[in-house]
Structure 1
């Protein structure tokens, strides 16, 4: 297993590690479990310890939880280091260890804190998304191991143009969910998010859905996902999904090649609670 550092959320309100206040909050329990037991738990073992053992919630589907959505990473300035055995430890974002690890091993970002609204982004959200796009484009341009041709393809895919979009239009022909054919309304949406995919996955047409904008936004922030049969799954957080034009009977036709990406989306992007 490859070592990995999970970085704090890109829109984290702090870059310095903050210890959660004492109490029975999930953040405090998670902090105690990891700080008292560095490199003892894998992610699934950690989730079991936090929610089943300490919170006494055996009813929860622990395999649906993701450490990347923990408030420790999203709001409190803590990164997570996974060693080659998948065992985890807390790393303060303002520490030399965090900076050194981020330069030496594979990294991914924790989930964002951005608003869960599907449409009507406010100025702050718009600036955040533009900043994220700018950062991704800068990383592509500065990658010394990628050819200029590959960089051009990646840049076009990141801004929703180029071969990736054309491949999705050719594959789907319309919105994969609603059947809308108006191209101006269709978004080439990555299933496994751009930030967490490698360059091959970023250009793979099977890592994409062609969606109308409102569904794309809901899918992107994890308010909806799809099970292995293609049936929509709606997050409990998305209480007004019908107003946004979604229905519980919506489906998408998935090919076998889509399944690994969609499984990733369900596990790491979809908001279970």
Structure 2
């Protein structure tokens, strides 16, 4: 079974062109944890520890209440089809965070107003791509 991946290496995902904020915002807490909350917590508490695939699948597993002992099998099925990558994350589309994927494919987030964010934008050795827009042009 062919496995697809959402992982990038040595790449910076910029906030979407139509991101509504100029300063990053932590996703607000709601009764039910949102995908944005889950992704923010995992990446902000553990920078460069997880790959994009880990983050995307963990959100799916949480939302679908998948047990620990089912995770490996379900993960293989999940990635047998292409999945949306972090370019579609609400953190980059709505909340003003960019994602840096290091050479090992591990992810960290950076607020749009931070010096680090600006440094990634100007680094010629890092590939850049924008998060997906929320609205069509």
Shorter-chain TM-score range? 0.7 to 0.9
TM-score, length basis structure 1: 0.39
> Which structure 1 segments of 5+ residues have no match?
116-124, 126-273
1:196-233 superposed Cα distances (whole Å, 9 cap, x missing partner): xxxxxxxxxxxxxxxxxxxxxxxxxxxxxxxxxxxxxx
Higher helix share: 1
Which residue pairs with 1:234 in the alignment? none
**CA 1:16–1:100 in 2, change beyond 3 Å: closer, same or farther?**
same
Larger Rg: 1
Across the two proteins, how many residue pairs are aligned to each other? 115
SS of 1:45's equivalent? helix
Q: Is the 8 A contact 1:73 1:79 kept in 2?
A: yes
Report the equivalent of 1:111. 132
Q: Secondary structure at the match of 1:64?
A: coil
Provide closer, same or farther for how the CA distance between residues 2 and 27 of structure 1 changes in structure 2, counting only shifts above 3 A.
Answer: closer
**Relative contact order, higher structure (CA 8 A, sep 6+):** 2
Q: Does residue 69 of the first structure (1) align with residue 73 of the second (2)?
A: no
What secondary structure does 1:72 align onto? helix
**For residues 49 and 20 of structure 1, do their structure 2 counterparts lie closer, same or farther at Cα, with a shift above 3 Å needed?**
same
| Contact 1:38–1:90 (CA under 8 A) maintained in structure 2 | yes
What's the RMSD between the two structures over aligned residues?
1.9
Structure 1 residues 79 and 43, CA gap change in structure 2 (3 angstroms): same
DSSP 3-state at the match of 2:132: coil
Q: Tell me the TM-score normalized by structure 2.
A: 0.76
Gaps of 5+ in 2: 1-7, 67-73
